[in-house]
């Protein structure tokens, strides 16, 4: 083995040993002899593979595979982060990066703009949803991944990048030279007034500016004399524990317990209390959650529920109650390690057992009986004596039925058909007003667009029909059943027409959403679609308007 390779292996093994030592520090008091014995075993095997394996092995891949193998024995949220993943986490929590400020995705193998963020260089220069980025600084984007394209478009603040754009309705490619800037990722992408006297705030994440942005939104809404507030935490996957505590402090009295942690090491046992008087203490509050509200979202909503400060509406939350710490390994990688569990004021642990990675011997052939699980749920009490249940996650005070996508809607969204139609339609109708409604003529044009795109999907009836057709063919009765099979085909097409009409309201909503995004941005989507049609928001408004019902729910 060459001296370079030996040094490479030695460096990689040093990284592994460092990881193991960190593990030792954070995981209590394992036997030092055992730790070093197994570390030696690991290094011996790695050297033997490197020296004797039949094919040449990449040392980095070998060592990283071993590290990732270690992580698989832990819970799903403990990870070894390579440089790109580490950078993304840092970017998400810090809430800023230097670039152009737009969301992109792959559409028909072309890097395509989903939406420029308001106030960013991309937005100011006039880039639009649906623009196809065909070149970046003269380099063709063909075959690029979105990650590669993002890397080329990002760079130091003040530097420039030139994009060549193809836009529907414009014959020649457009060239934009854009100056990069620091992009602030908003944790509160929107707030405003609903029905003249109720506030609405969308809190999308718990990055470093979450409490400051939420505070600013609350103060502004208070100055407009709101009579109630809707705080939307749906699909908020969480973020920083410190921000969860600070944002919750905006609603709870000074000294109130917000969350506490329990781990194997004494230093992980901590309590977090409100340190100052709340910004919003009297105004009625409704918090919206769903199955994708996790982590810090569950701390905030759980504390509000446990202190009877507001009503939780929506669907049971995700149930991520594990605390992770990030240890920088010094070479661009990091260890994200679970060190404790979160508990909310009533004593409930947020973590759902189903989200813990089981030992292989714990796998069983059958699922546990859900009714038995219900019976075993431990009861806890809120400050006012209402019964709440443990077992993970936060169960809303008012639970709304989850709406699933129909096969038709699922395929329209999956294939970005609404997005494509919005690009096509707004190119022909750029003066569409912000308060437009989707008309019958638009629906008819959308149907024609589906035909031009050769859009098709299979509903459950069609899938069953295909099974029947194959059985008839196998048994030699296909020709004999020809007339009946044609009748079934016709019936399936009629059923598909009925399915289209059945979800017509949802189709109109999706069409309007994507057209508004392209022409006016996300603010218009909230004001013209979300606040007017979202059923969770409508239920929250119903509760805020009915003060007797609101008080009755909080009294249990």
H or E stretch including 555?
helix 547-555
Compute the distance between CA of residue 233 and CA of residue 318 in angstroms, rounded to an integer: 12
Name the strands in the sheet holding 198-202, side by side, starting at the edge strand that comes first in the sequence. 190-194, 198-202, 228-232, 285-289, 311-314, 398-399
The pair phi, psi for residue 450, each rounded to 5°, is -60, -40
362 burial level (CB within 10 Å; 0-12, 13-18, 19+): exposed
Q: What is the number of other CB atoms lying within 10 angstroms of the CB of residue 420? A: 19
Which DSSP state fits 397? S
Per-residue three-class SS string for 496-551: HHHHHHHCHHHHHHHHHHHHHHHHHCHHHHHHHHHHHHCHHHHHHHHHHHCHHHHH
DSSP characters over 320-383: --EEEEEEE-SSS-EEEEEEEEEE-TTS-B---GGGS---GGG--SSPPPHHHHHHHPPEEE-T
Compute the distance between CA of residue 209 and CA of residue 186 in angstroms, rounded to an integer: 8
Compute the distance between CA of residue 111 and CA of residue 133 in angstroms, rounded to an integer: 6
Q: Is 78 one of the annotated active-site residues of the chain?
A: no
Q: Of the listed 131, 211, 306, 397, which one is catalytic? A: 306
Compute the distance between CA of residue 318 and CA of residue 66 in angstroms, rounded to an integer: 30
Tokens 């690029």 — which residue? 144
Q: Is 141 one of the annotated active-site residues of the chain?
A: no
Q: Of the listed 320, 508, 512, 539, which one is catalytic? A: 320
Compute the distance between CA of residue 153 and CA of residue 297 in angstroms, rounded to an integer: 32
514's CB contacts (< 8 A; 6+ apart) are: 129, 418, 419, 421, 422
Taking CA 308 as the corner, what is the angle to CA 305 and CA 310, rounded to the nearest 5 degrees? 70
What pairing do the DSSP bridges indicate for beta strands 334-343 and 257-262? antiparallel
24's CB contacts (< 8 A; 6+ apart) are: 30, 32, 35
Q: Which tokens in the block code for residue 538? A: 């409508």
104's CB contacts (< 8 A; 6+ apart) are: 111, 112, 113, 114, 133, 146, 149, 150
Q: Is 306 one of the annotated active-site residues of the chain?
A: yes
From residue 401, alpha-carbon distances to 126, 285, 318, 369, 499 in Å are 40, 21, 16, 22, 20
Residue 272: CA count within 13 A, CB half-sphere: 23
What totals of helices (H) and strands (E) does the chain contain, helices first? 20, 21
Q: Of the listed 43, 293, 295, 346, which one is catalytic? A: 295
For residues 485 and 472, the answer to whether their CB atoms sit within 8 Å is yes
Beta-bridge partner residues of 260 = 271, 343
User: Would you please indicate which residues are annotated as catalytic (active-site) residues?
Assistant: 295, 306, 320
């Amino acid at each position: 083995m060459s001296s370079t390779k030996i040094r490479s292996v030695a460096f990689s093994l040093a990284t592994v040993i460092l990881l193991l030592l960190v593990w030792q520090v954070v995981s209590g008091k394992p036997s030092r002899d055992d730790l070093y014995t197994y570390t030696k075993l690991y290094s011996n095997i790695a050297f033997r593979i490197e020296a004797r394996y039949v094919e040449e092995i990449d040392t980095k891949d070998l060592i990283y595979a071993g590290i990732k193998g270690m992580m698989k024995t832990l819970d799903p949220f403990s990870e070894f982060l390579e440089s790109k993943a580490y950078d993304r986490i840092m970017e998400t929590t810090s809430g800023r990066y230097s670039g152009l400020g737009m969301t992109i995705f792959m559409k028909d193998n072309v890097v395509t703009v989903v939406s420029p963020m308001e106030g960013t260089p991309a937005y100011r220069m006039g880039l639009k949803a649906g623009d196809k980025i065909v070149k970046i600084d003269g380099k063709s984007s063909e075959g690029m991944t979105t990650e590669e394209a993002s890397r080329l478009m990002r760079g130091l603040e003040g530097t420039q990048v030139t994009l060549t754009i193809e836009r529907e309705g414009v014959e020649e490619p457009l060239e934009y030279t854009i100056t990069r800037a620091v992009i602030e990722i908003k944790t509160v992408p929107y707030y405003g007034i609903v029905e003249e006297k109720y506030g609405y705030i969308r809190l999308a994440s718990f990055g470093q500016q979450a409490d400051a942005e939420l505070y600013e939104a609350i103060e502004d809404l208070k100055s407009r004399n709101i009579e109630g507030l809707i705080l939307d935490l749906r699909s908020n996957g969480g973020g920083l524990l410190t921000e969860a505590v600070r944002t919750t402090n905006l609603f709870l009295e000074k000294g109130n317990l917000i969350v506490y942690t329990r781990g194997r090491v004494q230093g992980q046992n901590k309590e977090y209390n409100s340190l100052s008087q709340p910004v919003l203490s009297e105004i009625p509050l409704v918090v919206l959650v769903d199955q994708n509200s996790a982590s810090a979202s569950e701390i905030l909503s759980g504390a509000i529920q446990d202190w009877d400060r507001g009503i939780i509406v929506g669907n049971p939350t995700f149930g991520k109650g594990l605390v992770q710490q990030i240890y920088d390994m010094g070479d661009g990688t990091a260890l994200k390690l679970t060190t404790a569990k979160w508990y909310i004021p009533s004593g409930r642990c947020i973590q759902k057992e189903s989200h813990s990675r089981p030992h292989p011997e714990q796998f069983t052939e059958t699922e546990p009986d859900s009714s038995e699980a219900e019976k075993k749920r431990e009861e806890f009490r809120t400050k006012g004596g209402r019964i709440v249940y443990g077992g993970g996650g936060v169960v809303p005070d008012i639970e709304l039925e989850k709406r699933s996508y129909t096969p038709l809607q699922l395929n329209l969204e999956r294939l970005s058909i609404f997005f494509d139609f919005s690009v096509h339609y707004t190119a022909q109708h750029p003066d569409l007003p912000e308060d437009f409604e989707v008309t019958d003529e638009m629906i008819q044009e959308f149907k024609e667009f589906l035909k031009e795109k050769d859009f098709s999907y299979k509903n459950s009836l069609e899938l069953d029909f295909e099974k029947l057709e194959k059985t008839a063919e196998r048994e030699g009765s296909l020709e004999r059943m020809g007339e009946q099979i044609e009748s079934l085909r016709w019936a399936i097409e009629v059923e598909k027409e009925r399915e289209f009409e059945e979800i017509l309201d949802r189709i109109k909503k999706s069409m309007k959403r994507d057209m508004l995004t392209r022409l006016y941005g996300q603010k218009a989507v909230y004001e013209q679609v979300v606040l007017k049609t979202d059923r969770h928001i409508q239920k929250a408004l119903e509760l805020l308007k009915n003060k007797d019902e609101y008080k009755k729910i909080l009294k249990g």
